[in-house]
Amino acid sequence: MEFLLVTQLLALISVTTALDNGLLRTPPMGWMAWERFRCDVDCKDDPKNCISENLFRDMADRLAEDGWRELGYEYVIIDDCWMSKQRDEHGRLQPDPLRFPGGIAKLARYVHDRGLKLGIYADMGTHTCMGYPGTTLDKIEIDAQTFASWGVDYLKFDGCHSNPVEQMIGYPRMSKALNATGRPIAYSCSWPVYVGGLPPNVNYSLMGEICHLWRNYYDIQDSWDSVINIVDWFSNNQDALQPAAGPGRWNDPDMLVIGNFGLSIDQARSQMALWAIMAAPLIMSNDLRTLSNDARAILQNKVAISINQDPRGMQGRRLLQEKSHIEVYWRPLSNSASALVFLSHRQDMPYLYHTSLAKLHYDPGSYEAYDVFTGRTMTGLTHTTDLKVSINPSGVVMWYIYPTKHKRFHNTWKEHTLSTYHVDEAEAVPPEVL
């Protein structure tokens, strides 16, 4: 305990004016290489999938040309394995010359020319998780300056091969070093996961002062078990985690694996809905070149995205765990609206769940609810209306709910959503079901 107090004091002293660039007032959205492409560096036999400038150019093209950028997916993020095994003669990190022959600055210009932003990966230990050069304490300033000179917009700073003292000093120091470059760079910290993710080992007030987002828990894998394990951990610890989130500071349950190999369509909807409820970063890790129409529809769901991006920035919570293995999640939104997610942990058949808004702690009054994945609007609801919700196994039903007395505003909200995302109303908001 004494060690914790001393090291936390060290960090607080070192963090003065560390992060003041005003970025990520809503959770970041984009694409990252790691979960889907890992550390594939075999560009001879697997040129389409290896970690190379061609892969990131391809993904930038897809984000720019396939409607993602207009929805808010703006970051193209390089993860581990981009580096040469040695720093250059000036002590700077450098990309692998065979896989990134044009260099990172040229790749950044390519990404920027498409209206997107470039993210990059570093690790504050002696080596990255996959054995490439790390950013030790004496290299933090030069690496921050290098990234800024290349035109990087986002840094994921990992913590493999480092110890708690180095992390306590290094994560705040990198925050200050990024700020000192004068370039606005979003800062993703992996610090919490390396010390257990929870207080007292993690000071989330401090975390919000130095990082825009942070990894709390272990890496996601391409499976429903992994997704639901992360959701359960966040929900079981929501009293410690939920207050830490807000505009400019986000808990990060890791990447969206929708469109890969491990999730059914229902499970993919579940991940999208729960990440929206948790105000989580929407960072995809998939192959945008071969994405199915079903996966695209989920990831481009305009109302789910708008819930995730709600400017109030409050992370949602799990309200109920029923004996029927149905769980209910709730998130308060701007202008008296809210979002509800009904999640089935069942594995047998669709389950008909009975509830009411009163049971879910809504105030007396009349409401309307928009079903995010079917596009139906339910009108004439009161807080006592018996609600029957059919939920598929490992699936969700997600509602956007607002009081009828604010209906005029929420019609405007729909119009704003449509104009923001440049789509026709018929495509995004089907006619109400009376």
323-380: pLDDT as tens digits:
999 999 999 999 999 999 999 999 999 999 999 999 999 999 999 999 999 999 999 9
| Burial degree of 138 (CB within 10 A; 0-12, 13-18, 19+) | exposed
The whole-number pLDDT of residue 409 equals 63
Residue 430 has pLDDT above 70, yes or no: no
Question: Would you put residue 423 in left (φ > 0), alpha (ψ -120 to 50) or beta?
Answer: beta
CATH architecture for the domain at 317-428:
Sandwich (2.60)
Q: Is 348 a catalytic residue?
A: no
The whole-number pLDDT of residue 289 equals 98
The whole-number pLDDT of residue 413 equals 61
Query: Catalytic residue among 79, 80, 158, 254, which?
Result: 158
Contact 285, 221 (CB under 8 A): no
Average pLDDT, the chain: 92
Contact 291, 417 (CB under 8 A): no
Residue 10 has pLDDT above 80, yes or no: no
**pLDDT tens by residue, 184-205:** 999 999 999 999 999 999 999 9
The whole-number pLDDT of residue 348 equals 97
Contact 351, 323 (CB under 8 A): no
Contact 30, 19 (CB under 8 A): no
The whole-number pLDDT of residue 434 equals 22
Query: Catalytic residue among 58, 66, 219, 266, which?
Result: 219
The whole-number pLDDT of residue 41 equals 98
The whole-number pLDDT of residue 419 equals 54
Contact 273, 398 (CB under 8 A): yes
Residue 404 has pLDDT above 60, yes or no: yes
Q: Is the pTM of this model over 0.75?
A: yes
The whole-number pLDDT of residue 13 equals 45
Distance CA 272, CA 266 (A): 10
Q: Is the omega angle on the peptide bond into residue 192 within 30 degrees of 0, that is, cis?
A: no
Residue 382 has pLDDT above 50, yes or no: yes
**Closest-CA residue to 343 (of 299, 268, 397):** 397
User: Residues of CATH 3.20.20.70 domain(s) within the chain?
Assistant: 2-308
Question: What's 2-308's CATH class?
Answer: alpha beta
CA 388 → CA 84, 222, 318, 353, 365, distances in Å? 57, 32, 19, 6, 19
Q: Quick one: tokens of 251?
A: 């808990």
DSSP string of 395-425, one letter each residue: -EEEEEEEEGGGHHHHHHHHHHHHHHHT--H
User: Residues of CATH 2.60.40.1180 domain(s) within the chain?
Assistant: 317-428
The whole-number pLDDT of residue 432 equals 29
**pLDDT tens by residue, 17-45:** 457 689 999 999 999 999 999 999 999 99
Q: Is 42 a catalytic residue?
A: no
Cα 334 vs. chain centroid, distance in angstroms?
20
